[in-house]
Amino acid sequence: MIEARALDPTKVRDIAPLVLDEGGRLKVMPAAFYEGTTVEERAIFGVRHAAYGLPTLELVAWLKALIGDRPALEIGAGTGVLSDALGIIGTDNLMQQWPHIRAHYAALRQPVIAYGANVRQYDAVDAVCALKPKVVVASWVTHKYDPARHEAGGNEHGVVEEEIIRNCETYVVIGNTHVHRAKSVWSLPHTLLHPSWLYSRAHNGSREFIAVWGKYAPWRAA
């Protein structure tokens, strides 16, 4: 979860008309656009529209170079905007469609994700085992809650990321340093990058990141 800070939406510009298409779907924007926005603008937009990571043209280009000609899929694809831009399969367990989850978000007065028509319903590990990609992309995915690591939080329906790593060649995670600090896979060998063209709804003062587990060509570093 994102740590809440006091934000007054009446004093913040609404960037939705600039970043949503006519159908209300998030557009992939150049990083220069988000550079001209404030943390508060991005945070309020994200909360209002159930947007977490904000995909940029630069992120898409970087991921395409990393993937190359290898089969790839996205887990936790949500709206499917990123997987659509990459031309890869998008998968999600669609948990925000479940009645008790919808009720939870309604109580918080927050919208749920509008899942993309291109997103296939799969649990993350099941998707990787069934579809056998070489590359797995994950943006803002939550790790599975482990009672033995109660302080690390997570979600009981979250992703067992160690299983993802075991069943693919390259696992790529896009996230926020503070929000995703408690992932157990940080203990495994990985490459950590902080490119300037990453943006999200986070408003906690920490940096966005790309982390890569498994096969990675260092000349593709940001």
d(CA 198, CA 99): 33
In a domain, 105, yes or no: yes
d(CA 176, CA 179): 5
SS3 track for the chain: CCCCCCCCHHHCCCCHHHHECCCCCECCECHHHHHCCCHHHHHHHHHHHCCCEECEHHHHHHHHHHHCCCCEEEECCCCCHHHHHHCCEEEECCHHHCHHHHHHHHHCCCCCCCCCCCEEECCHHHHHHHHCCCEEEEECCCEECCHHHHHHCCECCCECHHHHHHCCCEEEEEEECCCCCCCHHHHCCCEEECCCCCEECCCCCCCEEEEEEECCCHHHCC
In a domain, 130, yes or no: yes
Instruction: Using the predicted structure, report yes or no on whether residue 221 has a pLDDT greater than 50.
Output: no
Determine the structural domain holding residue 91 and report its residue range.
9-220
Tokens 């966005």 belong to 208
Q: Are strands 135-139 and 199-200 parallel, antiparallel or unpaired?
A: unpaired
Q: Once rounded to an integer, what is the mean pLDDT over residues 37-52?
A: 97
The pTM of the full predicted model, rounded to 2 decimals, is 0.93
Given phi > 0 = left and psi -120 to 50 = alpha, else beta, which region is 126? alpha
User: What would the pLDDT profile of 120-151 be if each residue is shown by its tens digit?
Assistant: 999 999 999 999 999 999 999 999 998 999 99
> Which CATH number belongs to the domain containing residue 126 in this structure?
3.40.50
d(CA 46, CA 202): 9
pLDDT at site 8: 75
CA distances from 37 to 19, 41, 168, 199 (A): 11, 6, 36, 10
In a domain, 2, yes or no: no
In a domain, 26, yes or no: yes
In a domain, 4, yes or no: no
User: What would the pLDDT profile of 77-120 be if each residue is shown by its tens digit?
Assistant: 999 999 999 999 999 999 999 999 999 999 999 999 999 999 99
In a domain, 195, yes or no: yes
**How many percent of the chain have pLDDT more than 70?**
95
Number of domains in the chain: 1
Q: How would you class 109 by CB atoms within 10 Å of its CB: exposed for 0-12, middle for 13-18, buried for 19 or more?
A: exposed
d(CA 5, CA 42): 13
pLDDT at site 11: 83
User: What would the pLDDT profile of 9-34 be if each residue is shown by its tens digit?
Assistant: 778 999 999 999 999 999 999 999 99
